[in-house]
């Protein structure tokens, strides 16, 4: 749960036994906003306990065998290549799921939130209030390490080289891979394609309740630390082999996900207080999404073991 910094809200939470709720929810409760009540808040906290035990303890969040191995930095050249190819398929095919999520949004606000992610993925840099680049800078290479993880795509500048797929392409080039070797479904293993299809089925579902459950599951998986494990493994691989694989794709996402935890929790609470939520369905579909995630990583784990046997 997210700690509340405001002393008045903290006292309100303590008086009403609501410790653990985020500041926006406490503000809404204190203001008696429509749909918000202390009784419903207590029910939400009980629901959160269910989520913590029945969803967020999914094995792919608590124990990812592949990323635990990857972190050691013992990968062979072939294992790193295979990982980058499969990750590029997932990353590129995620655009399809995100497009479905945008199209199937049931509010303008929800559509805009999905557009933010989609636009950033394809190369619109977040506008964090910095000076707008001059036209002559627009064609220059964008260093992902310097690209903001904060702000909005509104007023942001599009760069081809800021597309996340092109960041992966830079890594692939160091491994002897080219554009034709990445991203397309034909390069995906059955486990990778299963994950991509589950993202479309659940994360991009036309039913708002399903897509929100899948989105919550995906965000909590992404914030659980796997990015850091991949970064550590690649740093160690570079040091061990004398390679110079650029890591910006991974370090940028790690910084981004570190900021998403609070937003994800705030969105869940707003969902609970403003919509009718079937708690069992939410946990069910969230687990189905995490099962799909697990298939992806398990497939990578099987692939790296097979490559080790061949070597």
In a domain, 277, yes or no: yes
Q: What is 241-309 written as a DSSP string?
A: HT-----HHHHHHHHHHHHHHHHHHHHHHHHHHHS---HHHHHHHHHHHHHHHHHHHHHHHHHHHHHHH
Domain interval for residue 236? 24-121+160-310
In a domain, 225, yes or no: yes
In a domain, 17, yes or no: no
Instruction: Pick left, alpha or beta for residue 159 (phi over 0 → left; psi -120 to 50 → alpha; otherwise beta).
Output: beta
In a domain, 151, yes or no: no
List, for residues 207-217, the tens digit of each pLDDT value.
Answer: 988 999 999 99
In a domain, 1, yes or no: no
In a domain, 112, yes or no: yes
List, for residues 149-190, the tens digit of each pLDDT value.
Answer: 667 777 778 888 888 899 999 999 999 999 999 999 999 999
In a domain, 149, yes or no: no
* Closest listed residue to residue 280, CA positions, set 219, 216, 210, 223: 210
Calculate mean pLDDT across residues 80-84.
Answer: 97
Q: Which residue has the tokens 């394609």?
A: 193
pTM value? 0.87
CATH of the domain at 293: 1.20.910.10
For the chain, what is the domain count? Answer: 1
Q: Tell me, what's the pLDDT at 123?
A: 82
CB count in 10 Å sphere of residue 179: 12
Q: Tell me, what's the pLDDT at 280?
A: 96
In a domain, 93, yes or no: yes
């Amino acid at each position: 749960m997210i700690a509340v910094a405001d002393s008045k809200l903290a006292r309100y939470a303590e008086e009403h036994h609501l410790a653990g709720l985020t500041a926006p929810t406490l503000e809404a409760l204190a203001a008696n906003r429509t749909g918000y009540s202390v009784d419903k808040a207590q029910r939400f906290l009980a629901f959160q306990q269910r989520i913590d035990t029945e969803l967020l303890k999914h094995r792919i969040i608590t124990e990812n065998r592949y990323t635990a191995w990857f972190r050691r930095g013992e990968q062979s050249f072939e294992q790193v290549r295979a990982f980058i190819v499969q990750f590029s398929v997932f990353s590129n095919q995620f655009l399809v799921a995100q497009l479905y999520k945008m199209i199937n949004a049931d509010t303008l606000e929800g559509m805009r939130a999905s557009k933010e992610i989609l636009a950033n993925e394809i190369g619109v840099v977040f506008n964090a209030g910095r000076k707008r680049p001059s036209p002559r800078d627009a064609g220059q290479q964008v260093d992902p390490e310097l690209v903001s993880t904060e702000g909005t795509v509104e007023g942001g500048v599009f760069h081809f080289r800021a597309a996340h797929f092109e960041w992966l392409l830079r890594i692939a080039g160091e491994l002897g891979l080219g554009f034709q070797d990445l991203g397309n479904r034909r390069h995906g293993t059955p486990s990778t394609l299963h994950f991509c299809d589950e993202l479309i089925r659940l994360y991009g579902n036309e039913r708002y309740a399903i897509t929100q459950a899948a989105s919550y599951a995906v965000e909590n998986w992404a914030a659980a630390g796997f990015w850091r494990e991949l970064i550590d493994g690649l740093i160690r691989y570079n040091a061990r082999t004398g390679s110079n694989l650029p890591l910006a794709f991974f370090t940028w996402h790690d910084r981004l996900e570190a900021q998403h935890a609070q937003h994800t929790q705030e969105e869940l609470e707003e969902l609970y207080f403003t919509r009718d939520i079937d708690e069992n369905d939410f946990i069910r579909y969230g687990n189905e999404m995490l099962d799909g995630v697990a298939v992806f990583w398990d497939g990578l784990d099987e692939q790296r073991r097979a490559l080790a046997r061949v070597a």
